[in-house]
Structure 1
Amino acid sequence: MEEYKKRIVKTIQYIDHHIDADLSLEKISEISAYSPFHFHRIFKQVAGETLQNYIIRKKIEKSALYLALHKNMEIKEIYWNLGFSNHSAFCKTFKKHYGIPPSEFRKNAPEQFHKILQTHSKNGQVNTVFSQYICSIENPLNWTAMNLKIEVKELPEMNLAAVMSLGIANVEPSYNTLIEWAKKKHLFPRENVKMISVYHDSFKITPPDKVRIHACMLLDEKLEQQEGEVFSETIEAGKFIVGRGEVTLHNFEQCWVSLFLWMNENHYSIRKIFPFEIYHSNFKDHPEGKMIVDFCIPIH
Structure 2
Amino acid sequence: MKRKDTSLNHSKIANEMMNYINTYIDTDINITQMAEEFNISKFHFQRIFKEQMGENIYECIKSIRLQKASNLLITNQSSTISKIASLCGYSSQTSFLRAFKQRFEQTPKQWRQGGYKEYSNNILNIYSSVSLIDKYYINIEPQIVKIEKRIAYYIREKGHGNDSRKNWQKLKAWVYTNDIQNYFQLGIYHDNPIITKPQDCHYVSAIVVKVEDVLPNTNLPYFNLYAGLCAKFPFNGKYEDILKLIQWVYHFWLPNSGYEATTIPSYIRFEKNDFFDDSGEFVADFYIPIAFS
Q: Which has the higher helix share?
A: 2
Deviation of 1:225 after TM superposition, in Å, equals 9.1
Distance 1:219 1:291 in 2: 21
Q: Larger C-alpha radius of gyration, 1 or 2?
A: 1
* Among candidates 238, 241, 244, match of residue 254 of structure 1: 244
Question: What does residue 116 of structure 1 align with?
Answer: 119
Contact 2:187-2:204 within 8 A present in 1 as well: yes
Query: Which is worse superposed, 167-176 or 21-30?
Result: 167-176
Amino acid at match of 2:192: S
Match of 2:10 among 4, 15, 33: 4
In the superposition, relative to structure 1, how do residues 24 and 166 fare at CA in structure 2: closer, same or farther (>3 Å)? farther
Residue 281 of structure 1 and its aligned partner are, at CA, apart by: 2.6
Identity between Structure 1 and Structure 2 (%): 19
Runs of 5+ consecutive residues of structure 1 not aligned to the other structure: 120-128
Counterpart among 277, 280, 297 of residue 271 in structure 2: 280
Match of 1:163 among 147, 154, 163: 154
Q: What's the RMSD between the two structures over aligned residues? A: 4.1
Q: What letter matches 2:223 in structure 1?
A: F
TM-score of the two chains, using structure 1 as the length reference:
0.71
Change (3 A) 1:256 1:183: same
Q: Whose RCO is larger (CA < 8 A, sep 6+)?
A: 2
Work out whether residues 186 and 208 of structure 2, in 8 Å CA contact, stay in contact via their aligned partners in 1.
Answer: yes
In structure 2, the residue matched to 1:77 is 83
Alignment of 1:212-227 (within 5 A): 212-222=202-212
- Gap change, CA 1:205 and 1:266, over 3 Å in 2: closer
TM-fit CA distance, 1:42: 2.5
Where does residue 93 of structure 1 map in the other structure?
99
Q: 2:271 is aligned with what amino acid?
A: H
Q: Map 1:36-185 to 2 at 5 A.
A: 36-109=42-115, 114=117, 116-117=119-120, 140-141=134-135, 143-144=136-137, 152=143, 157=148, 159-163=150-154, 165=156, 167=158, 168=160, 169=162, 175=168, 178-179=171-172, 182-183=175-176, 185=178
**Gap regions ≥5 residues in structure 2:** 1-6
Aligned-pair distance for 1:195?
A: 0.9
Amino acid at match of 1:251: D
Preserved contact between residue 95 and residue 102 of structure 1 (Cα < 8 Å): yes
Deviates most, 196-205 or 268-277:
268-277
* Structure 2 match to 1:230: 222
Task: Note the C-alpha offset of 1:70.
Answer: 1.0
Structure 2 letter corresponding to 1:249: Y
* Cα deviations by residue, 1:65-120 (Å, 9 ceiling, x for unpaired): 2112211111111222333232222211211111122222222347xxx362597x
Q: CA deviation at 1:35?
A: 0.5
Tell me the TM-score normalised to structure 2 length.
0.72
Count the aligned residue pairs. 276
After superposition, the Cα gap between the structure-2 partners of 1:22 and 1:294, relative to the gap in structure 1 and judged at 3 Å, is: closer
Query: How many angstroms apart in 2 are the aligned matches of 1:26 and 1:242?
Result: 40
